[in-house]
Amino acid sequence: MNPARQAHLEEFYQLMSELAETWHEPRMLADCTGRDGWPRHGVYFFFEGGENRADGSPRVVRVGTHALRLGDNTTLWGRLRQHRGRIGGRNPGGGNHRASVFRRHVGAALIRRDQLPGGLADSWASHHPHPGWTSAEDELERAVSEHIRAMRLLCMAVPTRPDGSSDRGFIERNTIALLSCSAGGPDRPSSGWLGSHAASRKVRDSGLWNADHVEVSYDPAFLDGLAAIAGGHASRSPATAGIASA
């Protein structure tokens, strides 16, 4: 293991600890609502039960953000709500994996792990459900929601600058690259990790519920931005500030 990478990894998790102290602890997604004081824009970090680092501490299994394109009006809670799935309405407890790549990865892994029919796999991977598979998709959406809602998460506010730019993509991209086993990250998933059954090779190999940025190098400068948010330290990214409140 490259000593510099190990040091950066430890710094990252120390910053996650500082963020957790501000939140009091990571929150379970199932317990979150839109009334929890979310910042409009931010980056999120998911932890999954049974997935730990070598020292026994929880490891991050997914990193994500939103509103990276000019004119994109999605909010942080809006993105988390897509991952969480529906509370009421049609198919309560379900969701829409076509609006959430996170849900799509989890559902595909459940299909492969449980050896569900190939027709369901084809329908799930399509832009629209195939005839005759709507009910099976609804059932799978509920299973996906159950799995994701049990995860805990931390979030940090990363606002948009007046010119429309932000550090969200920079933080997301480099965090994934640092953590990814495909790129040299040492924190391997457990033998029972659901992601080991993912349809995406990049998910399986990275140990993350991410497929983008898992095979690239990281820029350690992103840790300065995280430090400014999580710990109030000096940063190369002065426009990045704030933290989600409970």
Predicted pLDDT at 72: 84
pLDDT for the residue numbered 231: 62
Domain limits, the chain: 3-82+151-230, 94-148
Q: What is the mean pLDDT of residues 172-201?
A: 98
| pTM exceeding 0.95 | no
The pLDDT of residue 76 is above 80: yes
Instruction: Collapse the DSSP code of 60 into the 3-class scheme (helix H, G, I; strand E, B; otherwise coil) and give the result.
Output: strand
Quick one: how far is CA 151 from the chain centroid? 10
208 within 8 A of 63, measured Cβ to Cβ? yes
Whole-angstrom distance, CA of residue 129 vs CA of residue 135? 10
- Averaged pLDDT of the chain: 91
Summarised one tens digit per residue, pLDDT across range 81-102 is 999 999 988 899 999 999 999 9
**Cα 122 → chain centroid:** 24
Residue 34 reports pLDDT greater than 60: yes
pLDDT for the residue numbered 164: 86
For residue 125, which of 59, 112, 114 has the smallest C-alpha distance?
112
**In the predicted structure, residue 39 carries a pLDDT above the cut 70:** yes
124-170 pLDDT, tens per residue? Answer: 999 999 999 999 999 999 999 999 999 999 999 999 988 889 999 99
Looking at residue 244, its pLDDT comes to 33
- pLDDT band at 233; cut points 50, 70, 90: very low
> Residue 70: how many CB atoms within 10 A of its CB?
9
Return the closest-CA partner of residue 149 out of 92, 198, 100, 80. 80
- Is the model's pLDDT at 223 over the cut of 90? yes
